[in-house]
Amino acid sequence: LTEVHLQLNLLAGGGEAVEEAAAPARSIGGRWMMRNLHDNAQTTFTFQHEPGSETFTGRQDYAVDVQDAHIWGNAVIWRLAGMKVEATLSDDWRVMHNITVMTEDGHVMGTYHGEYLGPA
């Protein structure tokens, strides 16, 4: 068998495996505008998030604190004023779509689209 058959990626003469550069850790830290998909009302959030961390903090319109906030892959979940918020990140974590605000028992209160505005 050859290296090609074994799908090995070896350096010529050195026998050392070539390591791919890791992608830089992403962050949602900064200001976000969330638009209600029903009535187009807008609200802003400011998030603090260390790149690569699974947790973050933040506030809505500098008034209501985000609680129990987590990121797993492209999924984002947080609690806000007794509501649960779920969203999906895309476009290099600069867009949140399918933002769903629901009560603890799962009743949907609103759906939103979010866009990153820039640093806080």
In whole angstroms, give the CA distance from residue 78 to residue 104.
12
Q: Are 69 and 56 in contact (CB under 8 A)?
A: yes
pLDDT for 114: 99
- The pLDDT profile of the chain, 120 residues, written as one tens digit per residue, is 444 444 444 445 555 555 556 667 899 999 999 999 999 999 999 999 999 999 999 999 988 999 999 999 999 999 999 999 999 999 999 999 999 999 999 999 999 999 999 999
Contacts of residue 60, defined as CB under 8 A and 6 or more positions apart, other chains included, come to 43, 44, 45, 66, 80
89: nearest Cα among 43, 29, 7, 37: 29
**Residue 24's pLDDT is what?**
76
Taking the C-alpha atoms of residue 89 and residue 74, their distance in angstroms, rounded to an integer, is 5
Q: What is the pLDDT of residue 10?
A: 45
pLDDT at 109: 97
Q: Which CATH architecture has domain 25-118?
A: Beta Barrel (2.40)
- Domain boundaries of the chain, sorted by first residue: 25-118
